[in-house]
Amino acid sequence: MISTLLSRTSGADGDRAPRLLYGADYNPEQWSRSVWEEDVRLMREAGVNVVSVGIFSWARLQPAENTWDFGWLDEVLDLLHAGGIGADLATATASPPPWLTTAHPEILPVTADGTVLWPGARQHWRPTSPVFRAHALRLVRELATRYAGHPALVAWHVNNELGCHNVYDFSDDAARAFQNWLRVRYTTLDALNSAWGTAFWSQRYTDWEQILPPRQAASHPNPTQQLDFKRFSSDALKEHLRAERDILREITPDVPVTTNFMVMGNTKGMNYPDWAQEIDFVSNDHYVHPGPQARDELSFSANLTSGISGGRPWFLMEHSTSAVNWQPVNVAKRPGDLARDSLLHVAHGADAVCYFQWRQSAAGAEKYHSAMVPHAGADSDLFRAVAALGATLKALAPVAGSEREAARVGILYDWESWWASEQDSHPSSLLDYRQEALDWYSALLALGVRADLVTTRADLHRHQVLVAPVLHMVPADLAKTLTRYTEQGGHLITTYFSGVVDEHDHVWLGGYPGALRELLGIRIEEFGPLLDGDTVELDDATTGSLWTDRITVAPGTDVLARYRTGVHAGRAAVTRKATGTGSAAYVSTRLGVAGLTSLLPRLLAPAGVESELPTEVRGLIETTVRSGPGGRFLFLVNRTDTAVPVRGLDGEVLLGTTEGDGGALVLGPRAVAVLRQPAG
């Protein structure tokens, strides 16, 4: 639990009241000792109370196989502790040192086409290498033993962004581990042959050792092999996480363990809802990708992180104060973006706000990546904005520890459907699982309707409406869960290419959407994907792209919209079947944010769901609710670049400005306000 972490971090004044954490990755090994002292002074000035240390320090901590150098880190941790700053201590295993890769080149990852990923950057290790594992665990044991009693130690940070560069390794180590993983999953070769459909293209296996990762092949590799390799690769990294964690728990049972996830953009290799079961609190890294939905995507990622964390508070381990260095063009943030971006994460449950990194590097591949202390130094607008946010977070201390209050709408985000829906040799390679989910989310934001991103592990019954975009893979038990959900009054909304396959990626026969055909009361005989740029008009004035279906509607199913143009003109495009007090709706084309914004009120109406916000600010303001013993905290985030007055909401203003005496709360451009209401 993050509460263990919160209670381990105490201010220099010894104040143990709950508070939000603030800080960064701290890489003192890049600087001289005189800079360290200035660092701690500036950290205190900025309100920093936690930093992540040692993430890339392996070569410094263990300069040769049997030589250890902890003196510098002892000193760093002592300085931090004296400054009242906690250390989220990394296990330093993310980037193996040159002496190790020279002695053991067999730890280097191999791509699908056999290319070795050489050292010289970072994360050049095979998740399944026994040699790498042994060296990494030795380092973890040394570190944990050395710092077990250090008062600065508040949490363990396993490795760093596991899988960022090395999730898919096709080496011989990976092949052996994959075979073992498959033996556990299938027990017999007959079961594997059946699950993989190896009757196709003469792929039948007669020995486990014949099975390889889906290396570069002459044509499309077996889809179930590809899918299982995704599952295996996520599990292989999870095994590494568990191996490090077990040592940490053995030596320091009271220190919580985390690892930083990458719930952002198209990072899909790691099944985070599954990994979250292995750690004491969830951490996430997020970077803004420029574009029209940039901040909706930030909100979406933060919201999904909260879902992965089961609604409990989580730790924002990294984001940026301004530009990054790894996009084609690295745009600086505008005034106000820094605070708004950070607070949007807090709105979605972050109890810690940390950046990559504390002090901007003078050398190395990330020297043009922003930091809390920029190249210009502390006499800069950026550092002043950093310090101002530190003060804001202090004022928001009562929020610490509060949990997400369930929204009436849930959006189901499922890693297995994500993986399966985007495999190769499909009806359309243009399908983008995350983008479809993000479009529904943006449409709900545009309507001012609060929604929770949830995973299949969540209690779906908490939500009156469940949107499940592109729920492609529906095993029999998920179909049952969804049927029960609607029978008990839930309103399910799903889309094109849903319900099509089972857990082995075998098609449910008899007409699409197979597993959901009865529930949705429709039948589709053939998919109708659209060429890039082609569109169809619907009779409700929305426009579809990407996909269409030739739907036959069963008796009792309502048609909410029909195609007006295209080969399916006159036929159903959007349907809904009532199921007792609930319903199940199907949207057969990609409507985009504008189309979904226009359609959604009709889909939400049967559940009686509408915005909780005053009419005039719907779409302009994003709202979230966190609640705990300290109260019910209503976050209001201005999504626009102009000031928005908000009237008619009760509560003590914890953050924000009001106009005149008892007047409206006024949210400046991109500003965030927080109202505290009595605990419910």
Of the candidates 161, 244, 436, 622, the residue annotated as catalytic is: 161
In the complex, what is the shortest distance from the CB of residue 369 to ligand GLA, in angstroms, rounded to a whole number?
Answer: 5
In the complex, what is the shortest distance from the CB of residue 321 to ligand GLA, in angstroms, rounded to a whole number?
Answer: 11
Nearer to ligand GLA, 289 or 571 (CB): 289
Closest CA to 294 of 331, 251, 258, 328: 331
**Residue whose structure tokens are 């994360």:** 123
- What is the three-class DSSP state of 390? helix
| Active-site annotation holds for 297 | no
Give contact residues for ligand GLA (rule: CB under 6 A).
Answer: 160-161, 285, 287, 318, 324, 356, 366, 369
What's the half-sphere exposure (Cβ side, CA atoms, 13 Å) at 346? 35
CA distance 616 to 596: 20
CA distance 3 to 636: 25
In the complex, what is the shortest distance from the CB of residue 366 to ligand GLA, in angstroms, rounded to a whole number?
Answer: 6
CA distance 92 to 43: 23
In the complex, what is the shortest distance from the CB of residue 313 to ligand GLA, in angstroms, rounded to a whole number?
Answer: 21
Nearer to ligand GLA, 238 or 286 (CB): 286
H-type alpha helices, 252-380? 272-275, 294-308, 337-347
| Active-site annotation holds for 239 | no
Nearer to ligand GLA, 297 or 502 (CB): 297
CA distance 95 to 367: 18
Q: Rounded to 10 degrees, what is the CA torsion of 206, 210, 215, 217?
A: -60
Q: What is the DSSP letter of 623?
A: E
CA distance 258 to 279: 5
In the complex, what is the shortest distance from the CB of residue 436 to ligand GLA, in angstroms, rounded to a whole number?
Answer: 26
Residues 635, 624: contact at Cβ < 8 Å? Answer: yes
Nearer to ligand GLA, 237 or 560 (CB): 237
H-type alpha helices, 289-365? 294-308, 337-347
Nearer to ligand GLA, 317 or 478 (CB): 317
Describe the strand order of the beta sheet including 21-26 as a list of residue ranges: 257-258, 153-157, 86-90, 50-53, 21-26, 350-355, 314-318, 283-285, 260-261
Nearer to ligand GLA, 223 or 311 (CB): 223
CA distance 464 to 598: 20
In the complex, what is the shortest distance from the CB of residue 119 to ligand GLA, in angstroms, rounded to a whole number?
Answer: 17
Nearer to ligand GLA, 160 or 588 (CB): 160
In the complex, what is the shortest distance from the CB of residue 199 to ligand GLA, in angstroms, rounded to a whole number?
Answer: 14
Nearer to ligand GLA, 131 or 324 (CB): 324
SS (H, E, C) 214-235: CCCCCCCCCHHHHHHHHHHHHH
Joined tokens for residue 205: 């296996």
Joined tokens for residue 181: 């993983």
Closest CA to 307 of 453, 407, 449: 453
Nearer to ligand GLA, 138 or 289 (CB): 289
Beta bridge partners of 355: 24
In the complex, what is the shortest distance from the CB of residue 48 to ligand GLA, in angstroms, rounded to a whole number?
Answer: 18
In the complex, what is the shortest distance from the CB of residue 201 to ligand GLA, in angstroms, rounded to a whole number?
Answer: 8
In the complex, what is the shortest distance from the CB of residue 197 to ligand GLA, in angstroms, rounded to a whole number?
Answer: 15
What's the half-sphere exposure (Cβ side, CA atoms, 13 Å) at 39? 30
586-607 in b/e form (b: 16+ CB < 10 A) is bbbbbbbbebbbbbbeebbebb
Of the candidates 244, 297, 318, 436, the residue annotated as catalytic is: 318
In order, the DSSP letters of 454-521 are E-TTS-GGG-SEEEETT--B--HHHHHHHHHHHHTT-EEEEETT-S-B-TTSPBPSSSBTGGGHHHHT
CA distance 23 to 371: 11
Q: Among all residues, which ones are annotated catalytic? A: 161, 318
